Structure 1
Amino acid sequence: MTNISHDHPLTYTFGILGNIFSFMVFIAPVPTFYRIIKKKTSEGFHSLPYVVGLFSAMLWIYYAMVKTNVILLITINSFGIFAEIIYVAIYFTYATKKQRIKSLGLVLLLNVGAFGLIIFLTQILCEGPKRVAVIGWICMAFSISVFVAPLSVMGRVIRTKSVEFMPFNLTLTLAVSAVMWFMYGLLLRDIYVAVPNIAGMLLGVLQMILYGIYRNSKPNDVAAETKLPTIVKVDQELPTKVNSEPYQVIIPIKGGKIGEAKDGKNLEDAHINSQV
């Protein structure tokens, strides 16, 4: 295959499409943060995905600036930095003190410490094409590790037989985005852009296959146990015996299991995971 230049129409086409689909991925958390703002609490969310997303965008901006002539990497990752900073700022605003301390530690470790060290070492120890290669390998290794992260979600889908935690629209968008960036990197013969997106494409296809297998499946007990707990309270004291014989208290729970207590013991068993 002949080498295609940066300004070739095909290169720009895939780069622009990559920007569009990556933009959709970056704005996917908007409903989550709208809910956080509305409820004025960070709920059970963690800042790690957004701190890591910010770090990834910073790395790719640095790579694009050192390599030059890859303006489409700069445009989308500039927006990515802006979006992730907004998300992290909102999280800090509504998180608990403990959550803020943990998040601040992550920001200092990744976005200040690790990123600063990468810049320092590559500027001091490398120059020219070698610097581009070193930064490229760092970006590639980190991107692959990020793409591998959904394996835990895939394992959860298989375990629970439920696709509740793997929304199809986001999965499809991530897969298509990986295809666009793979083609962009392939046309430029840039292995640092192309190779990580091979992993993204493969994992995207696997996730969609899993979605097709389990989308109509009835969730098993493991999935049911991930629901929000409903606490069943017994307001009156129960006797330990009925007619000198052991008795059984049955508490039906809508949409869940049945809680029982024998001989007046283990009433905590009546705290069933369910949604009423």
Structure 2
Amino acid sequence: MVSAEEAVFDYICPFLGCLIASTLFAAPINDLRKSLRERTLGSLNPNPWAILTGNCLGWCSYAYYTNDPFILASNLPGLVLSFWLNMGAAKLQYLAQVDAAIANRFDKTTEPATTGTTLQENIKESLIYSPQDVLFLRVVIIWSSVLVCVGWLGYFQGHETQAIGVMVNINMIFFYAAPLETMKTVIDTKCSDSIHSPTITLNCVNAAFWFLYGVARRDIVVWGPNSLGLCLGISQVALCLWYPKSGRQEGGGEMEFEPVSTLDADPDDSDDEPEGIHPIPVTL
């Protein structure tokens, strides 16, 4: 017979945690879609999305070794969604770099350092990589190496759960620490536009439920990082309350961009800046 306390902490809390986690992972969808339409990331910080991939992949692995369906159900949707978030952020960063290359090519104040290079060469160079690609690949490579060592090479035979648990905790620290730079920006600018309010709110609620679930199961791998996440989430909520938003849309600015139709143009044939070029800043 399951007691009321066991039902709440062992079943109700993780079930609600699964629902809230899925809502948390889906929180940036509308903002990213808006950014894709406007062709700029604006104030969105995509770095946590790459860490999210490693976080969900690690928790899915931990769920496999602990046979915990709740942890698997709460992280598998986030793993799939994180791929789309990272691809969307990379697209916008590539677009920003291409627009910047075009703008620099036709900027009269540009130093003669680019003399001898064509516009196509500048664009090709801007498409070599984006910051989001680099971060995402680093996360995937690290977790792939860990899973190969644990699951195939057997370096931690008999201690697979502990090994994955340690790595998950390390990843969770980076996941929850990713907004720290944003927090510094908020304090410096005295404006919380760069904090994604829906994500932070759901993050706090999600961390609270999983903290209770980890305490109930006496699993420090679960309650440890979530207690840290809860504290950091509350700190960001406090910053949002202390430094209100300026009223701008979180998904990006109000700029609209026309298709660039002068990619094959020779900049030396005209003294005027061609129409249709609207540079956006490179997001790093």
TM bucket (normalised to shorter chain) is: 0.5 to 0.7
2:127, 2:227 → 1: CA distance? 35
The farther-off stretch of 136-145 and 42-51 is 42-51
Shift of the 89–155 alpha-carbon distance from structure 1 to 2, 3 Å rule, reads closer
2:128, 2:83 → 1: CA distance? 14
1:206, 1:107 → 2: CA distance? 26
Sequence identity percentage: 22
1:210 Cα deviation after fit: 2.6
Matched with 1:183 is 212
CA contact (8 A) 2:54 2:143 kept: yes
Q: How does 1:258-269 map to 2 (within 5 A)?
A: none
- Which segments of 5 or more consecutive residues in structure 1 lack a partner in the other structure? 220-226, 231-276
How big is the alpha-carbon RMSD for the aligned residues of Structure 1 and Structure 2?
3.1
CA contact (8 A) 1:157 1:165 kept: yes
SS of match in other structure, 1:155: helix
Matched with 1:155 is 184
SS of match in other structure, 1:125: coil
The farther-off stretch of 23-32 and 178-187 is 23-32
Q: 1:133 aligns with which of 140, 162, 167?
A: 162
CA contact (8 A) 2:17 2:209 kept: yes
Q: How does 1:163-174 map to 2 (within 5 A)?
A: 163-174=192-203
1:82 Cα deviation after fit: 1.4
Shift of the 189–99 alpha-carbon distance from structure 1 to 2, 3 Å rule, reads farther
1:184 Cα deviation after fit: 1.0
TM-score, normalised via structure 2 length: 0.65
Matched with 2:83 is 85
How big is each residue's C-alpha offset from its partner over 1:130-175, in whole Å with a ceiling of 9 and x where there is no partner?
1101110110121022212222222222222222222444322211
Structure with higher RCO (Cα < 8 A, 6+ apart): 2
Shift of the 11–166 alpha-carbon distance from structure 1 to 2, 3 Å rule, reads same
1:60 Cα deviation after fit: 0.8
SS of match in other structure, 1:101: coil
Q: 1:101 aligns with which of 124, 129, 150?
A: 129
Letter in 1 for 2:144: G
Letter in 2 for 1:126: F
CA contact (8 A) 2:48 2:179 kept: no
CA contact (8 A) 1:185 1:194 kept: yes
Shift of the 126–12 alpha-carbon distance from structure 1 to 2, 3 Å rule, reads same
How big is each residue's C-alpha offset from its partner over 1:71-115, in whole Å with a ceiling of 9 and x where there is no partner?
11111211001111222334455534646723444343321x212
Matched with 1:143 is 172
2:206, 2:232 → 1: CA distance? 12
CA contact (8 A) 2:27 2:198 kept: no
